[in-house]
Structure 1
Amino acid sequence: MPGEITDAPHEIIRMFPDYADTVLWFGDGPVEYSDTGLTAALVDDLQHWEQTFYESRTDDFEFVSRTAEASHAEEGVKLAGRVSAEVGPRFAIACDSVEGRDETVVLRAERPAENPAAEAAFTRLREELIAEGKRTAEIFAESGGVWTAYAPLSGETFTPNQRSGRSQDQG
């Protein structure tokens, strides 16, 4: 059913600061803001939220106060709601706004995406993750149990004492 959320990690956008120049994570890695289709105002606010996270920490990576910690968490939930509204109900937003907490706030829009470009961008990212997963499974099946590494950006596979993949197939 369109818009249905399953347990698949590539249908959940995680949101947390982690020194990656973005607070958005999808699949197994960070997502550059330029790849999200989110509005410029929301991207600016996400970047500001991340910056205040770093500014409100001590040299020991602790919050300077409980107030700063609570404020950061509250702002994160508000921003997660805005991300959810822009991408629509096809994706859930998991906001891990404060490390060390056991709970994660998960939000999902109830209305269609307010920003079709953002919904399309994350749909494309989801499709890329699915295709990459299928390709990885194919490589694993083709390897016959031999250690194999796959470089998704180049499409090449590497095995001990052998090299195969797209560039070798091309000549």
Structure 2
Amino acid sequence: MTQRGLGATHGRVVRLVPDYAGTVLWFPHPVAYVHTRLHPDLITDLIRWELGYYDALDAGFNWQSPAHASAFTSDGVGLALRLAVQLGAGFDVEFATYEAGVASRRFRSELPADNPRAAAAFTALSARPAASWAPTGWSTRALRDTIGL
């Protein structure tokens, strides 16, 4: 696994960022989880992470505490690493935290995809118009219902 700054890209870039789109996966548009073929445990953890992000914000969309921001970043790095392993060497995974003072990072597995179906799904998405696969946005209630919270 390599970690790099945001310089040269050695593959297609999947961005990991919550942004009220019903998914944290952007390629370059939001990607509905149903189209990813990612392992269900990873999808559940991505949804939980997004919900945790919204829950960690106050009414002014600021972190409730520095600990919330730090946990968001730590969990995001772990999820980016897991995503990079599933997608393999053909993809870079970029994680841009909202924690002040923390730089964006890009991860890439040097190995073949741990989940070839997911790598094939993202490869196929790159060849299709986004209108055919991008979600139109979900409420956080819909996300919670998806994973039974």
Taking structure 1 as the reference length, the TM-score comes to 0.68
Which residue matches 2:59?
A: 59
Which residue matches 1:23?
A: 24
Corresponding pairs, count: 125
Q: Distance in 2 between matches of 1:99 and 1:126?
A: 30
Unaligned 5+ segments in structure 1 are 1-5, 133-151, 154-171
User: Residue deviations 1:58-87, cap 9 Å, x none?
Assistant: 000000000110010010000000000001
Unaligned 5+ segments in structure 2 are 1-7, 133-149
SS in 1 for 2:60: coil
Q: Computing the radius of gyration over CA atoms, which structure comes out larger, 1 or 2?
A: 1
Matches within 5 A, 1:25-104: 25-27=26-28, 29-98=29-98, 103-104=103-104
Which residue matches 2:146?
A: none
* CA-based RMSD: 2.1
2:83–2:93 CA contact under 8 A, matched in 1? yes
Q: CA deviation at 1:125?
A: 1.0
| Structure 1: 4+ residue segments shifted above 6 A | none
Which residue matches 1:117?
A: 117
2:97–2:103 CA contact under 8 A, matched in 1? no
Matches within 5 A, 1:115-154: 115-128=115-128
